[in-house]
């Protein structure tokens, strides 16, 4: 009985999923579970730190590492890898898929590591400069600035791990496996919760529990995908790079505009971070609290449909089935808006109880003033939820037709 149950669970986790609606529904369930675990993490963070200077410093330190990940890895993966590799797998076979995938992944990771090393080296100059232009230097001690520099350097390590894991996720998605890649973020959040629960009591500076928790979560994010990757025998050649691979050049052509576009977005995000940091103590923490709440419907509806539909959209376009492609696009847009518009209204109307429920439920350091501050930020973010959700999906439509 136990073996049969385990076998059934393994079958559900590893089976191929070709139906977009069922795949999207499963992804929504997993995304919802991930967000519940994420809200538990945020509740723990708010109870321990509130909207404090320490949390401001952590978010300042994590800004650049996350920016590099979003631009180089996530931008390239979402904009170029999946459409190109789907075409290779369908038309040229597994051997060519392995060669092209290895080239793209290895070059992406080498570029990421190179940029990470540069950030590590120059952090001692860029962090004091950022503090100076935000006019917060009077609030921060030399020890605070040293802490931010060290946190920035260490937080690059989990981002590198997450980058490698993102490539594995793309490979599994191409093979129509969506459940395991979506379990990875859930385990990532669990790792961060482990950091808070077990490391805060033993660390002198408790903000470091968030740093080490992020590292634990990144390792779990990667490890959960390796067994299925090996089971499917997806080819990967360590350090193999073929610059003459025509598919690699096509991926570069598709990925570069997306990387440039994301660079502009990430510069704006860095500017938002610095502006928030420059206002008052806890303002950056409040901004991040609201941003993470807004991400729940964005990921639940936009990301789930985008991930589930992307391989099918790429496959329909590459096979020349343009009528079916257009029908599928209209269907996805209608379903996404049907789900996202009501949530946007609810977030605007119920912003105060939502913030208090998520961040104030455990009490601790998250005050009523923090609640009101975060709820005002959330209201402005909520206005754009439906449009941002739709944008996430439409990006994949353009990427599927090799237009980035």
pLDDT, the chain, mean:
79
Per-residue pLDDT tens for 369-395? 888 888 998 998 888 888 888 887 787
pLDDT (average), residues 349-370: 82
> What whole-number distance in Å separates Cα of residue 352 and Cα of residue 373?
9
C-alpha separations of 356 from 13, 47, 293, 318 in Å: 35, 11, 12, 48
Average pLDDT of the residues in 59-87: 73
What is d(CA 120, CA 281) in angstroms, rounded to the nearest whole number?
A: 26
Q: What pLDDT is stored for residue 14 in this prediction?
A: 54
Q: What tokens does 278 get?
A: 């420059």
For the chain, what are the domain ranges? 19-52+282-404, 53-280
Q: Supply the pLDDT for residue 344.
A: 86
312 pLDDT higher than 80: no
Task: Summarize the confidence of residues 315-344 as an average pLDDT.
Answer: 80
The answer to whether residues 313 and 328 touch, using CB atoms and an 8 Å cutoff, is yes
Please say if the pLDDT value at position 79 is more than 70.
no
User: For residue 63, what is the enclosing H or E element?
Assistant: helix 53-68
Among 143-152, 298-307, 316-325, the range with the most confident prediction by mean pLDDT is 143-152
User: Could you give the CA distance from residue 386 to residue 8 in angstroms, rounded to a whole number?
Assistant: 37
Lowest mean pLDDT among 70-74, 95-99, 324-328, 366-370: 70-74
Q: Tell me the C-alpha distance between 398 and 395, whole Å.
A: 5
The pLDDT of residue 154 is: 92
Higher pLDDT among residues 75 and 227, named by residue: 227
Q: Contact at 8 Å (CB) between 155 and 214? A: yes
Structure tokens at 141: 């001690």
CA 323 to centroid of chain Cα atoms:
32
For residue 240, name the pLDDT band (cuts at 50, 70, 90): confident
Its pTM stands at 0.76
Average pLDDT over residues 134-157: 82
Cβ-contact 351, 35 below 8 angstroms: no
CA dist 339 and 342 (Å) reads 7
Structure tokens at 280: 């008052």
Specify the pLDDT at position 267: 78
Q: Is the pLDDT of residue 78 over 60?
A: no
CA distance 137 to 127: 11
What three-state secondary structure class fits 403?
A: coil
The CB density around residue 243, as the number of other CB atoms within 10 Å, is 8
Reported as a pLDDT band with limits 50, 70 and 90, residue 253 is: confident
pLDDT at 215 over 90: yes
Spatial separation of the C-alpha atoms in residues 181 and 173, rounded to whole Å: 8
pLDDT at 217 over 90: yes
Quote the CA–CA distance of 45 and 192 in Å, as a whole number: 10
Q: Which two tokens mark 322?
A: 């343009």
pLDDT-wise least confident of 168-182, 187-201, 243-257, 370-384: 243-257
Query: Is pLDDT at 234 greater than 70 in this prediction?
Result: yes
The pLDDT value recorded for residue 91 is 73
Reply yes or no on whether the pLDDT at 19 is more than 70: no
For 281, the enclosing helix (H) or strand (E) is none
Of the chain, the percentage scoring pLDDT greater than 90 comes to: 7
Q: Give me the pLDDT at residue 192, please.
A: 92
CB atoms within 10 A of CB 132: 11
Question: Residue 17: its pLDDT value, please?
Answer: 54
The b/e string for 85-101 (b: 16+ C-beta within 10 A; e otherwise) is: bbbbbeeeeeebbbbbb
């Amino acid at each position: 009985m136990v073996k049969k149950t385990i076998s059934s669970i393994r079958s559900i986790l590893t089976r191929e999923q070709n139906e977009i609606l069922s795949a999207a529904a499963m992804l929504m369930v997993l995304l919802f579970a991930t967000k519940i675990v994420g809200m538990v993490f945020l509740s723990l963070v708010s109870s321990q730190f509130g909207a404090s200077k320490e949390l401001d410093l952590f978010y300042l330190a994590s800004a650049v590492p996350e920016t590099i990940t979003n631009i180089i890895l996530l931008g390239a993966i979402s904009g170029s890898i999946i459409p190109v590799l789907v075409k290779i797998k369908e038309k040229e076979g597994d051997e060519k898929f392995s060669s092209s995938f290895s080239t793209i992944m290895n070059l992406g990771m080498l570029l990421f590591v190179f940029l990470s090393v540069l950030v590590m080296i120059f952090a001692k100059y860029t962090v004091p400069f950022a503090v100076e232009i935000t006019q917060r230097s009077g609030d921060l001690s030399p020890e605070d600035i040293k802490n931010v520099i060290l946190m920035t350097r260490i937080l690059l390590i989990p981002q590198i791990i997450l980058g490698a894991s993102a490539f594995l996720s793309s490979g599994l998605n191409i093979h129509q496996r969506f459940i395991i890649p979506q379990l990875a973020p859930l385990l990532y959040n669990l790792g961060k919760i482990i950091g808070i629960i077990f490391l805060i009591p033993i660390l002198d500076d408790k903000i470091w529990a968030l740093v080490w928790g992020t590292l634990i979560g990144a390792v779990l994010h990667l490890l959960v995908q390796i067994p299925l990757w090996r089971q499917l025998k997806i080819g990967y050649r360590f350090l193999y790079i073929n610059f003459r691979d025509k598919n690699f050049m096509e991926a570069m052509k598709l990925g570069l505009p997306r990387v440039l576009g994301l660079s502009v977005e990430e510069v704006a995000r860095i500017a938002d971070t610095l502006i928030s940091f420059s206002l008052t103590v806890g303002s950056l923490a409040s901004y991040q609290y609201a941003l993470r709440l807004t991400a729940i419907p964005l990921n639940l509806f936009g990301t789930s449909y985008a991930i589930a539909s992307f391989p099918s959209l790429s496959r329909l376009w590459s096979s020349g089935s343009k009528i079916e492609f257009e029908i599928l696009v209209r269907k996805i847009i209608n379903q996404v808006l049907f789900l996202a518009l009501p949530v946007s209204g609810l977030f605007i109307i119920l912003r105060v109880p939502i913030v208090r429920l998520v961040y104030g439920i455990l009490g601790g350091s998250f005050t009523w003033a923090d609640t009101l501050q975060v709820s005002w930020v959330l209201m402005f973010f909520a206005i754009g939820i439906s449009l941002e959700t739709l944008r996430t999906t439409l990006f994949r439509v353009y990427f599927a037709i090799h237009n980035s």
